[in-house]
Amino acid sequence: MIKFFSLGAAFTLALAASGLLVSAYAEDKGPIPAPTIALINAQKIMKESLAAQSLLEQVDKVHRKERDKIAALEDSLRDERQKIDRQRTVLTTEKYQEKVREWENKSGEHIREAEKRKRALDIALNRSLAKIKNALYVIIQDISENRGINLVFNKLQFFFGDPEMDITEEALVRLNKELKTVELPSIDETVGK
């Protein structure tokens, strides 16, 4: 049965089969081994794994908490601005402008702090995702060694592939067994770093 896959992979395999890559490889390590290919849907694993789902729940909880904080702060700033505007008729122009500048500075500081916390959440999330990806990489290496696989492609790069080549479910089961949760570092810890 003929299976179709990406042109880049086909080109690489054609070069290897034709011997054009052999001379560069052979100088250091000997002849290029025949490819034993596997496919994996890493995106599916990163979406469906227990660790990724636990991380998503943590991120959602932090987002809600931060959103509530920002909403309360915006309400406070709006009330403060309305109070300043109500005092406009009793304050001198200079005093009114001074209060407006103070409010703008305070408002700007809160915006910068919110942006800083958002960046900290992104950093914390990326660090936690890296833990999942690293664990998955180790699992893929182990599966490859056990099965004699020397080339693993992301399944999403291919149109078709023999289901026997797909190691996604095996990798997902092992990841769920080995890494059930990943802790999201707190934003406050990340901001401090």
pLDDT digits (tens, 9 = 90+) for 85-135: 999 889 899 999 999 999 999 999 999 999 999 999 999 999 999 999 999
Which of 140, 137, 117 shows the shortest CA–CA distance to 129? 137
Element (H, E) at 39: strand 37-40
Q: What pLDDT does 2 receive?
A: 37
Q: What is the pLDDT of residue 190?
A: 63
Single pTM value for the model: 0.72
**Mean pLDDT in residue range 74-83:** 93
Q: What is the mean pLDDT of residues 26-50?
A: 87
Residue 86 C-alpha from the chain's centroid: 47
Name every residue whose Cβ is closer than 8 Å to that of residue 63 and which is 6 or more positions away in sequence. Answer: 121
For residues 114 and 143, give the distance between their C-alpha atoms in angstroms, rounded to a whole number.
43
CA distance 88 to 54: 51
Phi, psi of 39 (to 5 degrees): -120, 145
Give bridge partners of residue 10 from the DSSP assignment: none
What is the per-residue pLDDT for 15?
44
pLDDT score for 186: 87
